[in-house]
Structure 1
Amino acid sequence: MSNRPARPSAAPTLKDLARLAGVSPITASRALHRPELVAEATRTRVAQAVEQSGYVPNSLAGGLTSRQTRLVAAIVPSMGHSLFSDMLDALITSLAAERYETTLGISRYDPAHEETWLAAMLSRRPEGVVLTGTEHTARARRLLLNADIPVVELWDYTPHPLDVIIGFSQEDAGRAAFRHLAACGYQRPAILRSDDSRAHRRAQGFLRAAAETGAPEPVQIVFPEDSPQTGRGRDAFSALRAQAPQADAVFCSSDALAQGVLAQAHALGLQVPRQMGVLGFGDQALAVDCIPALSSVKVDGAYIGRLGAAALIARMRGENVTAAQDVGFEVIARASTRAAAGRP
């Protein structure tokens, strides 16, 4: 069952906010909705009270007779990765089948941006919220607690979610990636990844698995997530070759990155998988069409989306659900990583 902690009190009201700011409710309301009518010092006090209390202005006040908006707010880091789009498509489709509308936000891997989006969305009084991952600001957590609505976190895993979580361990995925490359006979695998937190945690799992076996510490090439997609894999692999020419395999933070690595390895005359093993993440559709076919860590984003929708619908109906579900992952071995028996 969900183990979300009970709220210590009801969500703060406009009167609570006004009392904290030392103004009348009418003045507090004006500071929020008609700030040009209020002195700057008063606006500052009200803003500080909002920050302290976690109060969320109700942009729908007076327009609803109940809390049933049939609205769900969902946010993902990016739509540039098919895993997130597959997850989101399944989530929205499943919610629509139960007559819920979904409003979407893009966090750009920035918890502060997620916080701003949450404050805006909660003012519309959604009946449930879907977040990607577990890294949220303290204010975002306070806003969600005060809102007192179901919250489902997707894609990551922790035994102690905000409310309900469905995903997998990023660290364990990284460990499995290293073990696969080691089992294939590679002795100096490296990491090519973006700087987002999930790729970082997979890298930590990869490094720990290497340390546990006494292997040399894998070299990491890290690039900004918001850097141009075009040429990213080629550039990252070229940087790796310059920094660690002894590396004989790479674990990439996405299949798209791995495809660029394959292209650059071919351009450099390296034989994959004999001279260089390549392992992606996500097992996207094009993985099987690469030359050679790309080995990858498979995560079923659509399945996570469907489970997330089902859990949120149940919670919005007042039903108890399992608080934490680990759906796992699978390493799919293809021609881009050699079998241990085929080691030269």
Structure 2
Amino acid sequence: MANRSSRGSSAPTLKDLARLAGVSPITASRALHRPELVAEATRLRVAQAAEQSGYVPNSLAGGLASRQTRLVVAIVPSVGHSLFSDMLDALITALAAQRYETTLGISHYDPQHEERWLAVMLSRRPDGVVLTGTEHTARTRRLLLNADIPIVELWDYTPHPLDVAIGFSQEDAGRAAFRHLWACGYRRPAILRSDDSRAQRRAQGFLRAAAEADAPEPAQVVFPESSPQAGRGRDALDALLARARDADAVFCSSDALAQGVLAHAHALGLSVPRRLGVLGFGDQVLAADSIPALSTVRVDGAHIGRLGAEALIARMSGGAVIPAQDIGFKVVARASTLRDARPPSA
């Protein structure tokens, strides 16, 4: 989708839908809102035209004095991770300060679920949309193009956003994670991760860095993001030891997973960090209080949320497109990877 400098009126209308379906606007409206009043063939023809054009019924039609609803739609993968909740809290707080209400949707890391939820919420004619990440279905992109409203994608950085993107490079974070473990003296680091696309891209960066260092290809243990949180660290570490007994460090896709690994390593009598280095992702609130303190990749979720709100408010006020922003990340070295009890040299 090309960047847009202002809001327009390119969204398909009921008349456009009717013309595409070959029916009158009244028949098209009935097919959408009172399908029992039209023939099944007509209903299907209108539904196909709506799918093809990206038409979204306006549930607020006739009830608005202007296009502005002061409603923002925000979609996040989960509120179970503090990084997303920190980002969301900062976003909603900043929007509320400018009298915007936020309706929240949870995608559960599923682009199809994001698509379905967005299609429903666009019928309320929000003034703006906030998405988490940059990977969306073709229909989601078409719906957003036709809605022609400001869009902010948070968490992932891309130089080619739908409208505005604020985040960081997942691949670079993975590359930095490998380099930290390598600098700490680990020569067979492995990856423990969920199957969501962001963790996958961090793993790709990790693998590239390993290849650049001429290191053995890191082993990976991948589990469904939908699997229960309880026992993930235990099960992932057991699977790794069964597959790659000589792995001497792990890069985990979240701090929660890393803390589970720490607990299970202790139960197995594996010394951390001497026998096994453990690196998390997120720098969540308990990372520094783990035993040993957890090394991790820090991302400032609240900062992303605040910047996202500022960018969206500017765009909803008619401002020009803001360049994509890469806020970066930081590898925080703590005891779980420091064999010699001091940070490695840069």
Q: Which residue of 1 aligns with 2:202?
A: 202
Identical-pair percentage: 83
CA separation in 1, counterparts of 2:342 and 2:305?
38
The equivalent residue for 1:189 is 189
Q: What's 1:235 paired with?
A: 235
Distance 1:39 1:124, change over 3 A: same
**Cα deviation, residue 323, structure 1:** 2.4
Could you tell me how far apart the structure 1 residues matched to 2:21 and 2:321 are?
39
Alignment pair present for 1:59 and 2:59? yes
Deviation sequence 1:106-152 (CA, Å, 0-9, x none): 00111111111111111000000000000011111111111111000
**AA of the residue aligned to 1:306:** R
Would you say 1:77 and 2:43 are equivalent positions?
no
Where 1:50 maps in the other structure, the secondary structure is helix
Counterpart in the other structure of 1:136: 136
Q: Is 2:273–2:337's contact at 8 Å kept on the other side of the alignment?
A: yes
SS at match of 2:49: helix
Alignment partners' CA distance in 1, 2:221 and 2:252: 10
- Given that residues 183 and 340 in structure 1 are in contact (C-alpha distance below 8 angstroms), is that contact kept between their aligned partners in structure 2? no
Counterparts of residues 308-327 of structure 1 (less than 5 Å): 308-327=308-327
User: Shift in Å at residue 36 of structure 1?
Assistant: 1.4
Q: What do the CA deviations read for 1:264-322 (whole angstroms, capped 9, x no partner)?
A: 10000011001100000000010011000000000000000000000000000011242
Amino acid across the alignment from 1:290 = S
Contact kept, 8 Å, 2:5 with 2:319, in 1: the verdict is: no
| Helix, strand or coil at the partner of 1:191 | strand
Cα pair 2:6 2:318 within 8 Å, conserved: no
TM-score by length of 2: 0.96
Deviation, structure 1 residue 338: 1.6
Asked if the contact 2:7–2:150 (Cα under 8 Å) also holds between the matched residues in 1, the reply is no
Partner secondary structure for residue 322 of structure 1 = coil
Match status 1:163 vs 2:163 = yes
Return 17-26 or 332-341, whichever deviates more: 332-341
SS in 1 for 2:286: helix
Residue in 2 that maps onto 1:16: 16
User: How far off its partner does 1:339 sit?
Assistant: 5.0
Residue by residue, what CA displacement relative to the aligned partner does 1:65-94 show, whole Å, maximum 9, x if unpaired? 211111000000011111000000000000
Q: Does 1:115 align with 2:115?
A: yes
Shift of 1:39: 1.3
SS in 1 for 2:190: strand
Structure 2: segments with no counterpart, 5+ residues? none
Q: With the length of structure 1 as denominator, give the TM-score of the two structures.
A: 0.97
- What amino acid is aligned across from residue 305 of structure 1 in structure 2? G
Say whether the 8 Å CA contact 1:3–1:323 is kept in structure 2: no
Q: Over aligned residue pairs, what C-alpha RMSD do you find?
A: 1.7
CA distance in 1, matches of 2:300, 2:337: 21
